[in-house]
Amino acid sequence: MGAWNRSTHECRLESLRPEMVEAIQKHTEMFNLGPILDNYLMCIETISEKKKKGLFGGGGDKVIVSTIVTPRWLVWAVKEKNGTTALSAQLQELAAVDYADTPGYKIIPDRGVEITGSFTGRVGIDGSQRVSMFIGLGEEPDALKFEKVLKNAIRAAGPKLVS
């Protein structure tokens, strides 16, 4: 399916990679968010490796994403070859849909969740603060569990439409 091989597993917040913890701490301090990870519902790590294309084609690029859902927040840290960064959003500001149900899936098939909403400290395109982000997931049971936990948490947090 898509250009990436993905593997997702549930993990404990305490077992996150140090660079992920550091990026999340910097993010929460920069935006004065406080202890938003308290009472988290689920934490996952997804490792995505780019598939090789063609005889001499690229591949081997690796992206690691740690994603945490709390009763009020979605927080994730992304580690790429250029560094590690973190993002967050209040669940009441989000909508989530299976990526397979989006128009983008027909162009670039992949597995995951598309999140649309307002993200902490981020300004959208053309003056809109609502943007969409893709969270890639593997095929494992932990990935399916994460989707359910995320969608249920968004439903519980506010009146946004979740499918």
The tens digit of pLDDT for each residue in 38-69 reads 999 999 999 999 887 655 555 668 899 999 99
Q: What pLDDT score does 123 carry? A: 58
Query: Span 154-162, mean pLDDT?
Result: 74
140 or 104: whose pLDDT is higher?
140
Percent of the chain with pLDDT over 90: 67
The three-state (H, E, C) secondary structure of 57-88, written as one string: CCCCCEEEEEEEECCCEEEEEEEECCEEEEEE
Q: What pLDDT score does 132 carry? A: 87
Q: Are 111 and 99 in contact (CB under 8 A)?
A: yes
- Whose tokens are 């997931």? That residue is 137
Please enumerate in sequence order all residues whose Cβ is within 8 A of that of 23, keeping only pairs 6 or more positions apart, or say none: 77, 79, 84, 85, 86
Distance CA(111)–CA(30), nearest Å, equals 31
**Among 47, 57, 53, which Cα is nearest to 9's?**
47
pLDDT at 129 over 80: no
Q: Are 113 and 99 in contact (CB under 8 A)?
A: yes
pLDDT at 161 over 80: no
98 or 53: whose pLDDT is higher?
98
Residue boundaries of the structural domains of the chain: 4-157
Provide the 8-state DSSP code for 6: E
pTM of the model: 0.86
pLDDT 10s digits, 99-127? 999 988 888 889 999 999 988 877 555 55
The rounded mean pLDDT for the chain is 88
Q: Give the CATH class of 4-157.
A: mainly beta
Query: Span 4-20, mean pLDDT?
Result: 95
Provide the 8-state DSSP code for 22: H
Q: What pLDDT score does 59 carry? A: 61
Q: What pLDDT score does 108 carry? A: 87
**Among 74, 140, 78, which Cα is nearest to 112's?**
140
pLDDT at 33 over 60: yes
